[in-house]
Amino acid sequence: MEAHEILEKVKSGEISVEEAYTFFKRQPFEELGDYAKLDMHRRIRSGFAEVIFCSGKADEFLLSIFERLYNQDGEVFGTRCDERQARLIQNKYPMAVYDKVSGIIKIEKPDKKRVGCIAVCTAGTADIKVAEEAAQTAEYFGSNVKRFYDVGVSGIHRLLAKVDEIQSANCVIAIAGMEGALASVIGGLVSNPVIAVPTSVGYGANMGGISALLTMINSCANGIAVVNIDNGYGAGYMATQINRLAVREGKNE
């Protein structure tokens, strides 16, 4: 259970003060053998529960971490999960939803409330893998997301046709490979923050996303922050922080 839920149950008399105290006195992390120390108080401190980076984890470690986080919160979110790992998890948790495009695997509470609005834009269809990591991260953490895919600058009329909707979002995530110009164009069209995500999509001189990264961090447009190459998760997380602040101020509730 979450801290707020615990306090509400104390208030209503469903659980005793002593039971609530048992929950809160636990150490802020939990050791799983000698391979993991799970940050069980992260949601209390930051508003975001710990997430699993699945890639590279041994099967038994991944299953153990997934189980503990699910038991803690009744939901769990994993990134960079391959199809074999997904089958492993779904054999034990058939309700886990896997998206092979983004590599996201998750169990979500059915009654989750989403607020505000984040626009996720890609330059091309090849950027959708990273975009879905960003979009699903934001949705998991409670944000409404609108997707605008394949609106790159090589056909800028596609972007301009959607500009009113994009301008209405509390935050925009601009995802592009190649030369990475999309973030600069969007930055010049909107009043709210833009999070730029360079991708490794492109030909040789793209250098695995470095050319897009350099374009984005050298943008002449204002209000643009840049995350690491292919880091959809980081963009979705930061966009949710911005969206929550906007909702707190009464925008797009």
Domain limits of the chain? 3-107, 115-248
CA 204 to chain centre: 29
pLDDT at position 37? 63
Distance between CA 202 and CA 236 in Å, rounded?
22
Mean pLDDT to the nearest integer, 52-58: 94
User: What tens digit of pLDDT does each residue of 60-75 get?
Assistant: 999 998 988 888 888 9
- Burial code (b: 16+ CB inside 10 Å, e: under 16) for 105-140 equals bbbbeeeeeebbbbbbbbbbeebbbbbbbbbbbbbb
Distance between CA 89 and CA 67 in Å, rounded?
9
pLDDT at position 41? 58
Distance between CA 224 and CA 174 in Å, rounded?
9
What average pLDDT does the chain have? 89
In the chain, the N- to C-terminal Cα span, in Å, equals 25
**Domain covering 115-248, topology:** Rossmann fold (3.40.50)
Q: Which of 27-41, 46-60, 85-99 has the highest mean pLDDT?
A: 85-99
Q: Which two tokens stand for residue 157?
A: 């009329």
Q: Could you tell me which residues are beta bridge partners of residue 198?
A: 176
Distance between CA 65 and CA 126 in Å, rounded?
31
pLDDT at position 112? 85
Cβ atoms of 54 and 80 within 8 Å: the answer is yes
Q: Which of 247, 248, 166, 183 is nearest to 220 (CA)?
A: 183
Whether residue 84 is predicted with pLDDT greater than 90 in this model: the reply is: yes
Q: Which two tokens stand for residue 69?
A: 């986080």
Whether residue 250 is predicted with pLDDT greater than 60 in this model: the reply is: yes
Question: Length of the chain in residues, anyone?
Answer: 253
Residue labelled with tokens 């925008």? 251
User: What tens digit of pLDDT does each residue of 97-130 get?
Assistant: 999 999 999 999 988 899 999 999 999 999 999 9
